[in-house]
Amino acid sequence: MADPNETTGTTRRRFLVGAAGLAAGSVADARAESAKNLPPNVPDWTRQPGEGVGLRPYGNPSKYEKDVVRRTVPWLTATPESSVSFTPLHQLDGIITPNGLCFERHHGGIAEIDPADCRLMLHGLVDRPLVFTLNELKRLPRVNKIYFLECAANSGMEWRGAQLNGCQYTHGMVHCVEYTGVLLKVLLEQAGLKPSAKWIMAEGADAAAMNRSIPLSKALDDCIVAYRMNGEMLRPEQGYPVRLVVPGWEGNVWVKWLRRLKIGDQPWFTREETSKYTDLLESGKARKFTFVMDAKSVITSPSPQAPVKQKGFNVISGLAWSGRGKIRRVDVSLDGGRNWRTARIDGLVLEKACVRFYYEFDWNGEELLLQSRAMDETGYVQPSKDALRKIRGVNSIYHNNGIQTWAIKPDGEVENVEVG
């Protein structure tokens, strides 16, 4: 695979050179600076006008941000059509993920659906089986909600110990955006539920025709049939034109390219909720329908892909989320979990959405073991990896929300480590 980052100037070597000059202030940055643009000189961009309007009808990030991209781990899967790309969490801040950086997980590639040919069918235990066009869905009352979406397999490679050296890879199967759509409850009301209705099956129109069972109580609670993310129409890789939003629950049930909702009186036990997305324990038995994503957090920077550049004042930045409601608090440890201090949450604190936390500290070049620990409004406290393993063993693949440890070394490099 071509490395999308070839063009960036940063190399490990340059970083180390920069680190040697710690506190020199300007040398350690990603790109070499050019004296002709620095005071007292006046750079070209001040002397001459730049491009006019209209040349970028759909704007892209600055060319200097080319390395802020989703990345893959090619050895993880047999084929890119059923695979995953990861959100570059270490290069983002705030709580909203830009649409083009939201991680991808497809099971049959990206369906490219003509919105004119988009149909959503609703049938089964209903009074009136219905078909909606996209325009009809858009005519129904709208809601706007910010929710995180985490793949149940996020951090799944880390059950047996530290494996992937970067929070993009260890935690990058999460994103958080604002959805616009119609409440699933409203759609179900249009069809009229039979009294025996208890479960619904959501099915995609992609080449995997992904299908999952969801209890009716959840469907009537806060699920959305969404067509927009962050104001614009869903991206193709996020299910354009219509996806299901199942707040707080594992990403696999948020069926993309949604084409059908069937109402039944029992779950279907599809392949995706039996062979996959079940959590195998040491007993050899597996938990099923583990829908809720437990509270979790991660320090996004510093992290292995975002080493510490300077001694002195530094900001630790991280994300926390819980499928059970609001995040109440996030604690940070610099010594591998011996002592904790409460981090500062800045920005919105919403149900089942990411929160951004900060912890400011002075670094004098000593080795540190950074951790973060999220707590939600139900009182659930993110457990250590060992505490999780004690109950679940190491075979469950899914739902690894254990506390992550990053080791900061004297040269500012950061490594994903396990502590015992």
Partner 1 sequence: MSKSAEIALGAALVAAFATSTMAQSKKESPRNYGIGHVATAEQMAGWDIDVRSDGQGAPAGSGSVKAGEKVYMDKCAACHGEFGESAGRWPQLAQGRGTLKSHDPVKTVGSYFPYLSSVFDYIRRSMPFGDAQSLGNDELYAVTAYVLYLNDVVDEKFVLSKETWGKVAMPNAAGFFDDDRETAEKAFWNSSPCMKDCRGPVRITGRAGAVDVTPDEATKRGVE
Query: Other C-beta atoms within 10 Å of 68: how many?
Result: 16
The count of residues interacting with ligand HEC (CB under 6 A) is 7
Query: 336 is in the binding site of which of ligand HEC, partner 1, none (Cβ under 5 to 8 A by kind)?
Result: partner 1
The residue behind tokens 């999780």 is: 388
Q: Which of 231, 360, 387, 410 binds partner 1 (CB under 8 A)?
A: 387
What lies within 8 Å, CB to CB, of 9 at 6+ separation is 30, 31, 32
Strand ranges for 91-173 from DSSP E: 104-106, 119-124, 130-133, 143-150
Q: How far is the CB of 77 from ligand HEC (least distance, A)?
A: 8
Confirm or reject binding of residue 282 to partner 1 (CB under 8 A).
yes
Q: Which stretch binds ligand HEC (CB under 6 A): 76-84, 244-252, 316-324, 388-396?
A: 76-84
- H or E element that contains 44: helix 44-47
Does 143 interact with partner 1 (rule: CB under 8 A)? no
Convert 99-133 to b/e letters by CB count within 10 Å (16 or more is b). Answer: bebbbbbbbeebbebeeeebebebebbbeeebebe
d(CA 242, CA 207) in angstroms, rounded, equals: 15
Of 174 and 261, nearer to partner 1 (C-beta) is 261
In the complex, least distance from residue 177 CB atom to partner 1, rounded to whole angstroms: 22
75 binds ligand HEC, rule: CB under 6 A: no
Residue 199's CB: how many other CB atoms inside 10 A? 20
Using the rule CB under 8 A, is 302 a contact of partner 1?
yes
**Among partner 1, ligand HEC, none, residue 46 binds (CB under 5-8 Å by kind):** none
Coil/strand/helix, residue 136: helix
| Interface of this chain with ligand HEC, residues 80 to 109, rule: CB under 6 A | 82, 107
Residue 263 CB coordination number (10 Å)? 22
Pair 379, 295: CB distance under 8 Å: no
Q: Which is nearer to ligand HEC, 266 or 275 (CB)?
A: 275
Could you tell me which stretch among 64-72, 75-83, 151-159, 288-296 binds ligand HEC (CB under 6 A)? 75-83
411 binds partner 1 (CB under 8 A): no
The reply to whether 292 sits near partner 1 by the rule CB under 8 A is yes
288 near ligand HEC, judged by CB under 6 A:
no
If one asks whether residue 275 binds ligand HEC (CB under 6 A), the answer comes out as yes
* Interacting residues with ligand HEC between 245 and 274 (CB under 6 A): 271
Tokens 């980052």 found at: 5
Distance CA(356)–CA(267), nearest Å, equals 36
Contact flag: residue 6 with partner 1 (CB under 8 A):
yes
Q: Tell me how far apart the alpha carbons of residues 395 and 284 are, in angstroms, rounded to a whole number.
A: 9
Binds ligand HEC (CB under 6 A): choice among 2, 35, 53, 78 = 78
Q: CB 156 → ligand HEC: shortest distance, Å?
A: 14
How many residues touch partner 1 (CB under 8 A)?
Answer: 119
Question: According to CB under 8 A, which residues from 342 to 371 bind partner 1?
Answer: 369
Stretch that binds ligand HEC, among 22-30, 78-86, 156-164, 356-364 (CB under 6 A): 78-86
Strand partners, 372: 332
Distance in Å, CB of 38 to partner 1, minimum: 20
As to burial, measured by CB atoms within 10 angstroms (0-12 exposed, 13-18 middle, 19+ buried), residue 90 is: buried
Task: Determine if 62 is a binding residue for ligand HEC (CB under 6 A).
Answer: no
* 355/275 Cα distance (integer angstroms): 33
Residues that bind ligand HEC (CB under 6 A): 78-79, 82, 107, 208, 271, 275
